Structures are given as C-alpha cells and as structure tokens.
C-alpha cells in the first residue's frame, strides 16, 4: 500500500477519527458562531434597505445560506451513502447518517424563513410552487432516511438500507436546484451566481457569503460531533470505546477497563 | 444632533425602535431569526445529550459482562 492509502486508512479508523474530530469540533463551532455573528450584524445593521422589498429582504441572509446547506448536506450524505454501499466503509455509513439530521434542520429553517418571507412579499405563507414543493419533498426525504435508520435494529444493516434510500432521493436535488428555471412560478430566480455577475449589491453580498461560510462550517462541526457518537455506539464493545466511556464515568461509578 | 442629553437619549431609543420595527416587517424578520437560532441550538445540544446516553450504555454493558465473568 502506498503512503496515501495508509494515511487514509489511519484517519478512517474509529479511534483516530474520534480523537481528531473531538479536537476539531469545538474550534469549528466557535468559528461558525463568530462568522455567523459577523454576518448577521452585516445583514441586519450594515446592509442597506432593498429598494423594492424594504427590510423584508433581510430574511435572505438566513434563507439562502440554509437553502444551499439543505442541498449541500444531501449531496454529502449521498456521496457517503454511495461509499458505504459499495465499499462498506463503517465511517462512511456513520458520516452519511450523521448528515441527515443536520440537513433536515437546514431544510426546515429554509421552509420556515421562506414562508415568513413569502407572506409579506407574495401575500401567502405557502404555495405549491415547484421550488417550494421540491424543498418540502427534500425535508421528507431527510425524515425518511432518519426514520428508516432508526426502524432497523442492526445498526449496520440500518445504515445500508437508509443509504440506499438516500441514493434514490438524489433525483430530487437537480429538481430543487433547477426548478426556478424549469417552471416560471412565484419563487424568484437565482440572485447569486458562480458564473457571471450576481444580481446583488456588494454591501448585501458580503453578509450573505459570510453566512454561507458560517453555515458550512457549522455543518462540519455538527457532523463531527454526531459522527463521534455514532462511532462510540457502533464500537461500543471495543476497547477504545470502553476507555472513553470509563474516562467519562462519574467517580466511583465505573467498571474496570480490562477486568 | 442635539447637545441636550435627554434629547440624545430619545434619539437613541427611537433608533433602537426603528431597528426592531424593520420598516414594518419586524413581525416577519424576528421570528425567522429566532427559528434559525433555536433550531441550530437544538442541533448543537441534541448530540451532547445522546453522547451521555450512549456512554452510559457502553458502561452498563461492560458492567454486566464483568458481573457474568466474575460469576462464572
């Protein structure tokens, strides 16, 4: 084996990943909160009022980053689900399952902030517009993956069944993304583009991009925290997990590690 | 800007009130921001609670096994 494969193998081993994730997660949470506070200050205080939407547009600083995250988390989950199904790597199973609740949280925020934005701008909380409907389907897909994972007793079988569902659901991702181009309905088109100029002024754009960065970092912080627990649960019978459990035990309440 | 402190205080309060009013959209903006913060707070706290439960389970299993081994 070459050095890269060896390195990969080492990182992917549960005790090593557990340790590294534990060291990284608090820093990522801290950085996400700092960037988020900075971005929200920029969005709520520094950014000017929109000439058409007044102050109502300020929901964009939550709605758009969370909507991006709802798709990003799904893509991340699907890639790990694929690896889990093809190569049966334990860590990928856990990473896939750990990203589902975070993705569901971001999808939920997207739907709620969208609804709160829709009421004053469109005059309705909800409409069966293509973008809104496909985003709601995305939430149900996340809930389906989480539900299926918890419905099966054996953790590894459960992860594989839920990974399979996650892979089927990936057909919904391009539908969410392109829905505003394919069907011309109530939801507005993209404001920020990777290619070509964005349709937004720079003093609104930087808080938006800061929030996008903050939510991405938050995703990985939460993912690492959740993956650590998944690893402990799956490796509960192994020495390293016992050592962690015993070190955590309240004094006088622990069993001996190697009895 | 007035030099009278009382007047200045009133301006500060008004600016604060303007900020919270959000041009009349405050009742849509602030619930949105509250949901964002609450949902992400739950996202951060939920795994901490689950971690405690999982560790207690691992300890419980270990104790039961040790009890069995001592008995045998």
Residues pairing with A50 in the sheet? A54
The SS3 of residue A43 is helix
CB A180 within 8 A of CB A187: yes
**Inter-chain contact B47–A229, Cβ cutoff 8 Å?**
yes
CB A29 within 8 A of CB A197: no
What is the ipTM score, two decimals? 0.89
Q: What is the mean pLDDT of chain B?
A: 86
Domain definitions of chain B by residue range: 5-71
Residues of chain B found within 8 Å of residue A245, distances taken between Cβ atoms: 55-56, 58-59, 62
Of B32, B55, B58, the CB nearest to A62: B32
Of B33, B48, B59, the CB nearest to A249: B59
Q: What is the mean pLDDT of residues B38-67?
A: 93
Domains of chain A: 25-189+200-230 (1.20.120)
The whole-number pLDDT of residue A259 equals: 41
Q: pLDDT digit string (tens) for A215-239?
A: 999 999 999 999 999 999 999 888 9
* Distance in angstroms between the alpha carbons of the first and the last residue of chain B: 87
- A71: Cα separation from own chain's centroid: 8
Residue pairs spanning A and B at CB distance below 8 A: 105
Q: pLDDT digit string (tens) for A188-204?
A: 777 777 666 667 888 88
Give dist(CA A70, CA A138) in Å, integer: 8
The whole-number pLDDT of residue A197 equals: 66
Residues of chain A found within 8 Å of residue B17, distances taken between Cβ atoms: none
**Inter-chain contact A241–B58, Cβ cutoff 8 Å?**
yes
Q: What is the mean pLDDT of residues A135-149?
A: 97
The whole-number pLDDT of residue A97 equals: 97
Give dist(CA A207, CA A55) in Å, integer: 15
Closest alpha carbon within chain A to B25? A56
Main-chain phi, psi angles of A128, to 5 degrees: -85, 55
The CB-side HSE value for A126 (13 A sphere, CA atoms) comes to 8
Residues of chain A found within 8 Å of residue B59, distances taken between Cβ atoms: 245-246, 249, 253-255
The whole-number pLDDT of residue B38 equals: 97
CA distance A83 to chain B (A): 24
The SS3 of residue B72 is coil
Radius of gyration of chain A (CA): 21
The whole-number pLDDT of residue A179 equals: 87
Whether residue B49 lies within 8 A of chain A, CB to CB, comes out as no
**Inter-chain contact A259–B66, Cβ cutoff 8 Å?**
yes
Residues of chain B found within 8 Å of residue A120, distances taken between Cβ atoms: 25, 28
């Amino acid at each position: 084996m070459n050095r890269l494969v060896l390195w990969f193998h080492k990182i992917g081993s549960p005790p090593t990943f557990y340790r590294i994730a534990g060291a990284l997660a608090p820093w990522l949470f801290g950085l996400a909160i700092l960037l988020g506070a900075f971005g929200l200050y920029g969005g709520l205080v520094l950014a000017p009022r929109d000439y058409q939407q007044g102050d109502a547009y300020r929901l964009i600083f939550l709605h758009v980053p969370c909507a991006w995250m709802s798709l990003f988390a799904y893509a991340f989950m699907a890639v790990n689900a694929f690896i889990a199904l093809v190569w049966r790597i334990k860590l990928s199973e856990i990473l896939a399952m750990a990203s589902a609740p975070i993705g569901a949280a971001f999808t939920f925020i997207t739907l709620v902030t969208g609804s709160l934005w829709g009421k004053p701008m469109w005059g309705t909380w909800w409409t069966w517009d293509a973008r809104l409907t496909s985003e709601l389907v995305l939430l149900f897909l996340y809930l389906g993956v989480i539900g299926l994972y918890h419905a099966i007793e054996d953790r590894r079988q459960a992860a594989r069944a839920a990974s399979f569902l996650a892979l089927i659901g990936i057909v919904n991702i391009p539908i969410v993304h392109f829905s505003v181009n394919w069907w011309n309905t109530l939801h507005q088109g993209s404001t920020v583009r990777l290619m070509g100029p964005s349709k937004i002024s720079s003093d609104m754009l930087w808080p938006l991009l800061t929030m996008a960065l903050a939510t991405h970092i938050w995703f990985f912080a939460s993912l690492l925290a959740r993956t650590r627990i998944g690893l402990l649960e799956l490796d509960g019978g192994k020495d390293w997990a016992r050592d962690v459990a015993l070190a955590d035990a309240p004094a006088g309440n622990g069993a001996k590690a190697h009895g | 800007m007035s030099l009278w402190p009382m007047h200045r205080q009133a301006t500060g309060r008004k600016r604060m009130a303007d900020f919270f009013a959000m041009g009349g959209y405050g009742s849509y903006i602030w619930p949105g921001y509250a949901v964002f913060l609450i949902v992400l707070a739950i996202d951060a706290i939920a795994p901490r609670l689950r971690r405690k439960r999982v560790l207690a389970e691992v300890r419980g299993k270990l104790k039961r096994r040790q009890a069995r081994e001592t008995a045998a």
